């Protein structure tokens, strides 16, 4: 069947890691191998040119870090691949966690010098919760890193996942000579090349062949033969099912910046990574091969294209076939909407698509209908589950620095907080704007984007709140009483729901004891929580 054929050739995955391990570089190189781009520079220099593919937001170019997930599609060997390059920094982890709901597997990048780092552990924890299949790419082998055996050991103990090397490095750092593909038994010799694909692949049918010595020298040959023998003794043959269940991670070695080991990764990836998987909704499991279209919004981004001030909602297609110009049912708003120009992604370059299949990520122009987590269907009352919600931990008052741009500021703050970059709380009287985030860097992003995308300048004054609690009660009098007594600590979210700003854990405990009829919720999602 057409639908099944389309599904089976799709692969949608996220690239995750601790900051700086090389996700964006690897993404770029995968696109290079996929023929989606023709040359790639080092990420740093590339970030200043128009060819910057993944880190295209102005702030990302300037700082050299990714602050938001970007989505890119390309074709390789008959497969239709969607990569979601996530930001590594913990201050943007909300974006990464949401992205993980939209992928079917991940590639986890580890810097061979640093090994397993803080965010590596956290992200792996999220993958383990969902049994997401993980492939590990050990990057930066051109640098003097840790010994490959100890890296594997570290991964197994720290990330609590079994590993199975599918490629093996010959040397490391200055002595790095290449990788031996344990699967196809091919030897790829290393010649540093940052922009083009190296063709220097040698097929060595038998590892005991003398040709190996000629190519890599006596010492490296002996070491490789020992290593391969040991690996075959220690590790069982690679088990596809264990990988798909999230128990076993195949491991590749390479150097993304030098295009090295990337092809092995890509070739094996398309073969073993899962095709689009079913998703859990509130009422049932939804399967990709079903006839009716369904999908959910996992990300919203305003001003993706600086020339067109538009807002895009990123929709992961779960089932059926999405068609342009057809009316779909927005299950939260209970209304039908149609999309005249849905787009597919090549980073910030978008092209209009007429149809989309499960696994695909499409961009829908949004005029304010969507919130993260919203579901679209062909009429069925569905709500996809598992979208994480976050409670802010850092609060600052937003100060307008240019009164002539108040309108722009107002609009900018609303749009950026709609994206889920941060949360907005309003305090009356005086329309005081309080921004709540989980990380300091988000304030920088907001300030930068307000200025560059809306022309509004602002600054922030730190506030001493501990956490924000949405308050509800069946007892209206008790609620009114509470609001009157705690007036100075009550704010309202964008939907005018009252929120209590607790100054400490102790304040909250005291409030809970005094105001027994009032419920305190750590997230605005308490309605869906209760369902
Ligand atoms: N030596 C060496 N450097 C590399 C390699 N791959 C990437 N880098 C460098 O590592 C730095 C970080 O690379 P990025 O690709 O931006 O890392 P990232 O994981 O996307 O970082 P965030 O998105 O900010 O978390 C850049 O300076 C790259 O040039 C490699 O194979 N070898
Ligand atoms: Mg990056």
pLDDT at residue 42 above 70? Answer: no
Rounded to the nearest angstrom, the distance between the alpha carbon of 67 and the centre of ligand 2 is 8
Of the ligands numbered here, which is closest to the C-alpha atom of 47? 1
The pLDDT score that the predictor gives to residue 36 is 67
pLDDT at residue 384, rounded to an integer? 95
Which percentage of the chain shows pLDDT scores above 90? 62
pLDDT at 294 over 60: yes
What average pLDDT does this structure show over 301-319?
84
Q: How confident is the model at residue 420 (pLDDT cuts 50, 70, 90)?
A: confident
pLDDT category at 466 given cuts 50, 70, 90 is: very high
Q: What is the rounded CA–CA span in Å between residue 121 and residue 156?
A: 11
Q: pLDDT higher for 458 or 302? A: 458
> How much is the average pLDDT of 47-60?
53
pLDDT band at residue 194 using 50, 70 and 90 as cut-offs: low
pLDDT the model gives residue 35? 72
Mean pLDDT of 471-490: 94
CA dihedral 437, 443, 447, 449 (to 10 degrees): -60
Please indicate whether residue 261, judged by its CB atom, sits closer than 6 Å to ligand 1: no
Q: Is 69 in the pocket of ligand 1 (CB under 6 A)?
A: no
Give the model's confidence band at 244: pLDDT under 50 very low, under 70 low, under 90 confident, else very high. Answer: very high
Contact 19 CB / ligand 1 (< 6 Å): yes
Q: Which atom of ligand 1 is nearest to the CA of 64?
A: 16
Whether 67 is in the pocket of ligand 1, judged by its Cβ within 6 Å, is: no
Q: Which residues contact 469 (CB under 8 A, 6 or more apart)?
A: 499, 500, 501, 502, 508, 520, 521, 522
Is the pLDDT confidence value at 24 over 50? yes
Per-residue model confidence (pLDDT) at position 259: 85
* 53 pLDDT more than 70: no
Name the residue with the closest Cα to ligand 1, atom 2: 140
Structure token pair of residue 37: 């781009």
Would you say the CB of residue 111 lies under 6 angstroms from ligand 1?
A: no
- Overall average pLDDT of the 105-132 stretch: 94
**Which pLDDT belongs to residue 46?**
36
Pocket test for ligand 1, best of 16, 20, 85 (most atoms within 8 A of CB): 20
**Least confident residue range of 14-23, 202-211, 226-235:** 202-211
Mean pLDDT of 359-377: 93
Å from CA of 143 to ligand 1 middle: 12
- What pLDDT is attached to residue 525? 66
Q: What is the arithmetic mean of pLDDT over 366-372?
A: 90
- What's the pLDDT at 90? 87
| Mean pLDDT value of segment 261-281 | 93
Tokens representing 395 are: 């609060």
The reply to whether ligand 1 has any atom less than 6 angstroms from the CB of 20 is yes
- The minimum-distance atom of ligand 1 relative to the CA of 27 is 15
**Residue appearing with tokens 């490391």:** 172
Nearest to 269 by CA among 96, 56, 54, 29: 29
Mutate-to-test residue for ligand 1 from 15, 19, 22, highest number of ligand atoms within 8 A of CB: 22
**Which protein residue has the closest C-alpha to ligand 1 atom 23?**
66
If you measure from the C-alpha of residue 404 to the centroid of ligand 1, how many angstroms do you get, rounded to a whole number? 41
Residue with CA nearest ligand 1 atom 24: 65
Q: State the distance from the centre of ligand 2 to the C-alpha of 62, rounded, in angstroms.
A: 13
| 25-28 own/partner pairs: CB under 8 Å, 24+ apart | 25/139, 25/256, 25/257, 26/107, 26/109, 26/137, 26/139, 26/256, 26/262, 27/53, 27/54, 27/72, 27/83, 27/85, 28/53, 28/54
The answer to whether the CB of 369 falls within 8 A of the CB of 20 is no
Digit-coded pLDDT (tens) for 163-193:
999 999 998 888 888 888 887 788 877 776 6
For the CA of 88, the closest atom of ligand 1 is 25
Q: How far is the CA of 441 from the centre of ligand 1 (A)?
A: 19
389-411: pLDDT as tens digits? 788 999 999 999 999 999 999 99
Q: Which of 253 and 388 is assigned the larger pLDDT? A: 253
Average pLDDT, the chain: 88
Q: What integer pLDDT is reported at residue 38 of this predicted model?
A: 55
**Residue 306: per-residue pLDDT:** 65
Q: Tally Cβ neighbours within 10 Å of residue 363.
A: 25
Mean pLDDT across 271-287: 96
Query: What mean pLDDT do residues 238-242 have?
Result: 93
How far is the C-alpha of 82 from the C-alpha of 9, rounded, in Å?
11
pLDDT at 442 exceeding the cut of 70? yes
CA of 137 to the centre of ligand 2 (A): 15
Q: pLDDT digits over 122-154, tens only?
A: 999 989 988 999 999 999 999 999 999 999 999
CA atoms within a 13 Å half-sphere pointing along the CA-CB vector of 452:
17
Centre of ligand 2 to C-alpha 23, Å, is: 5
Residues counted in the chain = 531
Q: Which two tokens stand for residue 484?
A: 């009157």
Residue 461 pLDDT more than 50? Answer: yes
pLDDT of residue 192: 64
Task: Give the span between the Cα atoms of 190 and 215, in whole angstroms.
Answer: 11
Of the listed ligands, the closest to the CA of 56 is 2
Reply yes or no: is the peptide bond before residue 29 cis, omega within 30 of 0: no
Q: How far is the CA of 85 from the centre of ligand 1 (A)?
A: 12
Q: Is 43 in the pocket of ligand 1 (CB under 6 A)?
A: yes
**Measured CA distances, 259 to 29, 165, 197, 241, 254 (Å):** 6, 19, 6, 29, 8
Exposed / middle / buried, residue 136 (Cβ in 10 Å: 0-12, 13-18, 19+)? buried
């Amino acid at each position: 069947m057409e639908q099944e054929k389309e599904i089976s050739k799709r692969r949608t995955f996220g690239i995750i890691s601790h900051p700086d391990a090389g996700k964006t570089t690897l993404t770029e190189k995968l696109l290079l191998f996929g023929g989606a781009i023709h040359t790639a520079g080092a990420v740093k220099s590339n970030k200043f040119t128009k060819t910057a593919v993944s880190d295209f937001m102005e702030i990302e170019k300037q700082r050299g870090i990714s602050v938001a997930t970007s989505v890119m599609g390309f074709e390789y060997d008959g497969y239709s691949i969607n990569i979601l390059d996530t930001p590594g920094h913990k201050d943007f982890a909300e974006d990464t966690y949401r992205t993980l709901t939209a992928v079917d597997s991940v590639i986890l990048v580890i810097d061979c010098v640093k090994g397993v780092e803080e965010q590596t552990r956290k992200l792996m924890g999220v993958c383990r919760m969902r049994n997401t299949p993980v492939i590990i790419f050990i990057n930066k082998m051109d640098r003097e890193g840790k010994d490959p055996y100890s890296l594997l050991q570290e991964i197994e103990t720290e990330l609590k996942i079994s590993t199975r090397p599918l490629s093996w490095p010959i040397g490391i750092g200055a002595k790095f000579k290449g990788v031996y593909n344990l699967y196809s038994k091919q030897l790829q010799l290393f010649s540093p090349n940052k922009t083009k694909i190296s063709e220097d692949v040698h097929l060595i049918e038998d590892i005991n062949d003398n040709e190996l010595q000629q190519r890599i020298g006596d010492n490296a040959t002996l070491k490789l033969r020992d290593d391969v023998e040991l690996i075959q003794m220690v590790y069982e043959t690679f088990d596809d099912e264990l990988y798909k269940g999230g128990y076993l991670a195949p491991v590749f070695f390479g150097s993304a910046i030098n295009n090295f080991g990337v092809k092995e990764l890509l070739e094996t990836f398309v073969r073993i990574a899962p095709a689009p998987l079913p998703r859990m909704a509130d009422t049932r499991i939804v399967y990709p091969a079903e006839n009716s279209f369904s999908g959910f919004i996992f990300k919203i981004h305003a001003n993706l294209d600086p020339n067109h001030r538009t807002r895009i909602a990123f929709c992961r297609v779960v089932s059926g076939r999405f068609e342009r110009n057809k009316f779909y049912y927005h299950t939260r708003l209970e209304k039908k909407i149609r999309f005249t120009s849905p787009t597919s992604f090549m980073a910030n370059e978008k092209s209009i698509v007429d149809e989309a299949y499960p696994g695909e990520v499409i961009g829908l122009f949004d005029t304010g209908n969507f919130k993260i987590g919203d579901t679209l269907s062909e009429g069925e009352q569905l709500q996809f589950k598992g979208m994480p919600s976050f409670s802010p931990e850092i609060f600052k008052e937003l100060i307008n620095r240019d009164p002539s741009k108040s309108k722009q500021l107002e609009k900018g703050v609303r749009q950026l907080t709609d994206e889920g970059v941060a949360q907005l709380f309003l305090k009356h009287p005086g329309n005081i704007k309080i921004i709540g985030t989980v990380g300091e860097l988000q304030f920088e992003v907001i300030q930068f984007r307000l200025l560059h995308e809306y022309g509004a300048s602002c600054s922030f004054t730190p506030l001493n709140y501990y956490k924000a609690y949405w308050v509800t009660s069946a007892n209206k009098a008790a609620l009114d009483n509470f609001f009157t007594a705690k007036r100075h600590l009550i704010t309202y979210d964008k939907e005018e729901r009252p929120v209590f700003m607790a100054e400490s854990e102790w304040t909250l405990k005291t409030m809970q004891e005094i105001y027994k009829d009032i419920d305190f919720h750590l997230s605005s999602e308490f309605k869906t929580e209760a369902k």
